[in-house]
Chain A
């Protein structure tokens, strides 16, 4: 960077000198000489980092052990992305995958399921939060736009947990049901 500045300064000096030299042949007045000054700000977005540093929603045991069915009170504490910034108009997108049994990978028998759906919501960036329901094949609300630069926290909330295939299905035992949520900020809208 230092080297570039030196070259530009030297170039401008040479340009003025050359113009003066050219003008002196026709007039005793030189100039005016226009020197354009330009620059740019790099377009960027960053999602920041999670408040407590962990990127895992750990829900513990998912089922009611007396019925074998999904608990109806799963409500994990939200996570916050702090330091999110876009210096131009932007879009936010949230995508999620159902929680699936990682060891029990075959098709579950009749009456059982190996998957849990839920709704992932990213709020705070746009007036209407970005919402993704893993039970739906299309999620029209997953991408939201804003027309201005912005900085502020993004809250990621999981809700609406349900057994894939129906609430009367029981979940097969598995030590690890795993899902994933991805929040994307993109410059431009």
Chain B
């Protein structure tokens, strides 16, 4: 009788242990994690200017009271489509060089071998980036710089360059010859140009 009690008690304890073991191992789930990473570099792109150049033609008046002096030159525009920067904190910078006649001869008094103008680049921020050249009559100091406001978000925009306000230093008579100027537009980080 004493033996029987021991067997019953032991059998129960074994069965309990087996139940515990099965419950603790099923079901089994296992996972493996993998990450994928990459980067996107800061990029700004300016579209190709259209038209690619501006020819003002004959700039001097050939008749009337202003004969020989700068005639009326209408505004000229150039489109730069699909410009973008994919990062915030960007700005437009403009460098404009007055139209200068490249003859190395001395400029006589009352004459001018430079034509100044204002270059506006609009479309990037609410206010245009604008610069006006201030070349002297002899063509010196022809280049001026300016930068627009900061754009605080990535942006895509169509830009427009407009040339206005053509003037000759001292309103002098333009020296005959070929005049060449240049506008350089840069789109990049604020303060980076």
- Which B residues from 1 to 27 make CB contacts under 8 A with A? 3-4, 6-7, 10-11, 14, 17-18, 21-22, 25-27
Q: Which chain A residues have a beta carbon within 8 Å of chain B's beta carbons? A: 4, 7-8, 11, 14-15, 17-18, 21, 38, 40, 42-50, 55-63, 65-68, 76, 79, 81, 99, 101, 108-112, 116, 118, 156, 158, 170-188
- Which residues of B are found within 8 Å of A158, using beta-carbon distances? 36
Chain B: residues with Cβ within 8 Å of the partner, total of 38
Q: Determine the residue in chain A with the shortest Cβ distance to B32.
A: A47
Smallest CB–CB gap between A32 and chain B, Å?
17
- Which residues of B are found within 8 Å of A67, using beta-carbon distances? 45
In the docked arrangement, what's the CA distance between A47 and B31, Å? Answer: 6
For the complex of A and B, list the 10 residue pairs with the smallest distance between their C-beta atoms, beginning with the closest.
A59-B38, A173-B87, A18-B3, A57-B36, A47-B32, A111-B156, A43-B26, A42-B25, A186-B29, A62-B38
The reply on B155 being an interface residue by CB < 8 A is yes
Smallest CB–CB gap between A77 and chain B, Å?
12
The reply on B56 being an interface residue by CB < 8 A is no
B interface SS class: mixed
Smallest CB–CB gap between A15 and chain B, Å?
5
Q: Which chain B residues have a beta carbon within 8 Å of chain A's beta carbons? A: 3-4, 6-7, 10-11, 14, 17-18, 21-22, 25-43, 45, 84, 86-87, 153-156
Q: Determine the residue in chain A with the shortest Cβ distance to B153.
A: A109
Q: Determine the residue in chain B with the shortest Cβ distance to A107.
A: B153
